[in-house]
Chains A and B, each alone.
Chain A
Amino acid sequence: AQSVTQLGSHVSVSEGALVLLRCNYSSSVPPYLFWYVQYPNQGLQLLLKYTSAATLVKGINGFEAEFKKSETSFHLTKPSAHMSDAAEYFCAVSDRSNYQLIWGAGTKLIIKP
């Protein structure tokens, strides 16, 4: 069965520092991969997605992610953290054989001033 692992339930970075949120998936075939963000008291919002085009995907708010098949990873990065990036981030995978999104447990990003 598909699974998604997000390393670190909480990640803390200083404002202006690099943000790296890790996501690994298990799949026998390349899936579709997504990163969603959930700001406090708001619904989940799509940051970016991988659908088998370019392996480096750019999203909103300066975030990007790179699909690495050999590592079964889809890590999310941002060069310089901003206070407004504080939120919970979820990685999700859609197996090409069904309609379900399988989600990681989420990583809460904390930005230190």
Chain B
Amino acid sequence: GAGVSQTPSNKVTEKGKYVELRCDPISGHTALYWYRQSLGQGPEFLIYFQGTGAADDSGLPNDRFFAVRPEGSVSTLKIQRTERGDSAVYLCASSTSGARHNEQFFGPGTRLTVL
């Protein structure tokens, strides 16, 4: 079956521009997570959705970052006024529910480069 997909796979933008990163979770998965992974580091939690609502957005670094999941399926991570420090791989994961012991299924990531 189809796994988690993310588009685009690569995004190059200029400092100050706005970007949107898209995540298509596995069908039927109610929980969706966004992470950011910088070179040489493990993923860093950004936000967790249960259905349409953000149940935990404590990992968003500042108010330039925002994410939505309006119909409880596809999610979009939005970054305003991008900075060079935002360059990283952005990972999306989904799971069958928000139970903390559940396996999270990851997409291949979107590599964001801010010039």
Query: A residues touching B (Cβ–Cβ < 8 Å)?
Result: 4, 9, 32, 36, 41-46, 49, 51, 90, 92, 94-96, 98-106
Q: Is B107 an interface residue (CB 8 A)?
A: yes
Question: How far does the alpha carbon of A30 sit from the alpha carbon of B106 in the complex, in Å?
Answer: 25
Contact of B100 among A36, A99, A106 (CB under 8 A): A99
Number of interface residues of B (CB under 8 A): 26
Using an 8 Å CB-CB cutoff, how does the interface string of B13-57 with A read, 1 for contact, 0 for none?
000000000000000000001010000111111001000000110
| CB closest chain-A residue, reference B92 | A43
CB atoms of B56 and A32 under 8 A apart: no
Q: Is B113 an interface residue (CB 8 A)?
A: no
CB atoms of B91 and A100 under 8 A apart: no
Chain B residues with Cβ below 8 Å from A105 are 40-42
CB atoms of B42 and A43 under 8 A apart: no
8 A-B pairs besides A44-B93, A100-B48 with CB distance below 8 A are A41-B108, A43-B91, A43-B107, A46-B104, A49-B103, A99-B48, A99-B98, A100-B45
